[in-house]
Structures are given as C-alpha cells and as structure tokens.
Amino acid sequence: MDFNATLLGEMIAFAILIWFCVHFIWPHITKAIEERQLKIAEGLNAAERAHAELREADNKAAGEIKQARQQAAEIIDRAQQQANQILDKARADAVAEINRLKAAAQDEIASMAQRAREDLRERVGALAVQGASKIVQREIDAATHKALLDQLATEI
C-alpha cells in the first residue's frame, strides 16, 4: 500500500467532514431526537393519565348506575305501597258505601213495612166498622166512624 497525497487529502477531507458533522449537524439531530423523545414521553404520560381518568370515570359511572338502580327500586317500592294504600282505601270506601246503601235500604224496607202495617190497620178498621155496621144495622155518622177507626188502629 502506497500512501500518496490523494489518500492523505481524502483523510483530511474526511476528518473535516466528521468535525463539521459533530460540531454543526450532530447537535441539531440530537436536539430533535431529544425533543421527539420528550414529546413521546409526554404523550405516554398523557395516555396513562387518560387511562386512569377513564377507569375513574367508569367506576364513577358504575356507582351512579348502582345508585340510580337503588333509587328506581325505592321509587317502585313507594309506588307499590301507594297503590296498595289506594286499593285499601278504595276497598274501605266501597265497604262503607255498601254498608250505607244497605242501611238506607233497611230503613226504606222498615218504613215501607210500617206504612204497610198502617195501611193494613186502616183496612182492618174499615172492615171491622163495616162488619159492625151491618151487625148493628144502622148507619154510623162520619165522626163516629173516624173515632171508631182511630180506636181500632191504636188497639191493633
């Protein structure tokens, strides 16, 4: 191997190129690489935070869903209790109305029976007076007739 000026010139040019790259190009490349690494690290941290927030939001949502289900169950229970109370009140009102109607019907039956008894007394009295009139074979005036009917009505 022969060392000549060309080889020596190429080695000097290569050394200058290396020196130039190390002093002027390499710092910009390492700076860009470090900035990129920093951005990637920040992105990973942000992803971790987002993942943690997502888990927290999922837990919170699950808790709210559980609470909503409990509230819905309580509302359903209260509605069922109110429905039962309304049914019980309706039954009680219906029983009271039936008892009232039954009492009114019994009162009406009693008054009709009383009127029928009074009507029967008057008819019996009239028949008794007619029978007595025929037996006695004389005519009784209206005042005597009325007094006789009243007396028979009170006796019967």
Residue 29 lies in a domain: no
* pLDDT value of residue 27: 93
State the total domains in the chain: 1
Q: Is the pTM of this model over 0.85?
A: no
Residue 102 lies in a domain: yes
Residue 95 binned pLDDT confidence (cut-offs 50, 70, 90): very high
Residue 52 lies in a domain: yes
Per the structure, the complete domain to which residue 62 belongs is given by 46-155
Mean pLDDT for the stretch of residues 100-119 = 90
Residue 124 lies in a domain: yes
| Residues whose CB falls within 8 Å of the CB of residue 18, separated by 6 or more in sequence, listed in order | none
Q: 133, 102 in Cβ contact below 8 A?
A: no
d(CA 127, CA 125): 5
pLDDT at 63 over 70: yes
pLDDT at 125 over 80: no
Q: Which two tokens stand for residue 1?
A: 């191997």
Question: Residue 152, Cβ neighbours under 10 Å: how many?
Answer: 18
Residue 33 lies in a domain: no
Residue 34 lies in a domain: no
